[in-house]
Amino acid sequence: MKTNCVFCRIIHGEEKAEKVFEDEDTLVIEDIFPRAPFHYLVLPKKHFDSLLDVDDGALLGKLLITAKKVAEEKGFAPQGFRVVLNCGRGGGQSVFHLHLHVLGGRSLPWLPG
């Protein structure tokens, strides 16, 4: 855990967030600044600053499977959804704890950003 990481503090119950799903490796929360009617963040419980720090393919796969499950359980998977992983400041990352954005509930035209 990094004490200066807001997502680590949420994972450890030190800060509040609206939890959507949790298992031994992941936590899914609602984004506090949603960009779509459904906007969730899929977090690994283990801290990684970004994708550049991860070599664990099983964990990355689990994050994607979790994103799919949330879209299915919340009912917006049939209409389509987007999964975004920002990497580094130049890539749009603002919280430096690896996380996936899962967005749906409206048309999401290309180009994101």
**Which residues are annotated as catalytic?**
99
Name residue 111's amino acid: L
Is the alpha carbon torsion for 62, 63, 65, 70 positive or negative? positive
Instruction: List, in order, residues 6 or more apart from 58 with CB less than 8 Å away.
Output: none
Strands 38-44 and 26-30: antiparallel
